[in-house]
Every structure is written in C-alpha cells, then in structure tokens.
Amino acid sequence: VVDVTGSMAACYAQIDQWLALSHTNKLVQYFVFFNDGDNKPNKDKVIGSTGGIYAVHTNEGIAKVLTTLDTAKKNGGGGDGPENDIEAIIYTIGNCSTCENI
C-alpha cells in the first residue's frame, strides 16, 4: 500500500526506484496506490468511501505497475490533512486473498 498523496511528492523518485527494484521479488504480488480521493472536494469525502485507490498485480509487469502508479498520482489532488490509508489497507485485504503481509 503506497501513499501517493501530494504530501508524498518529495518521495516519488524513491517510490519509483523501490518499485523498479522490487517488482521481481516473488513475495511482492500486489500494489495498491492511494491518493486523496481523485480530487473529490473535502465536503464530499465519506470515511470508507473516499476513493482514489488503484491496484495492480505485479505479474501484470512493471510497465503496468508504473502506469497504475502514475494514474493514481495524476488523479489525486491532495489538499486535506486526513489520509485514506486505512481505506486502502481494507481494500487490499478484500482484493488480494493471497496477500499475507500488507
């Protein structure tokens, strides 16, 4: 589960590098990237359904992983303090039945 909200912009290069190095690791099978709700206005955000969650299996290839990451970054807008990290973790648990460590 990777935070790609605006507050993490300074870390984007490190995230890209980590993904490139870890995509062949057989223990890493699924990535979930989350932003702050796809530019949804703060007043419309509801805990548990904020949105802005993008998932990809590593067996789809590093190009797909990086495209998914880029889409999550581009569709987010940041702006508010609260993060939807727990929503992204719950999404991951529900959508990757073979994932043992999140």
Q: What is the reported pLDDT for 74? A: 94
Give the pLDDT confidence score for residue 69 in this predicted structure.
Answer: 94
**pLDDT tens string for the chain (102 positions)?**
999 988 888 898 898 888 888 877 888 899 999 998 998 888 888 888 888 999 999 999 989 999 999 999 999 876 677 778 999 999 999 999 999 888
Listed as own residue / partner, the contacts of 36-39 with beta carbons closer than 8 Å and 24 or more positions apart are 36/5, 36/6, 36/76, 36/77, 36/78, 36/79, 36/80, 36/83, 36/84, 37/76, 37/84, 38/75, 38/76, 38/77, 39/75, 39/76, 39/77
Domain boundaries, the chain: 2-95
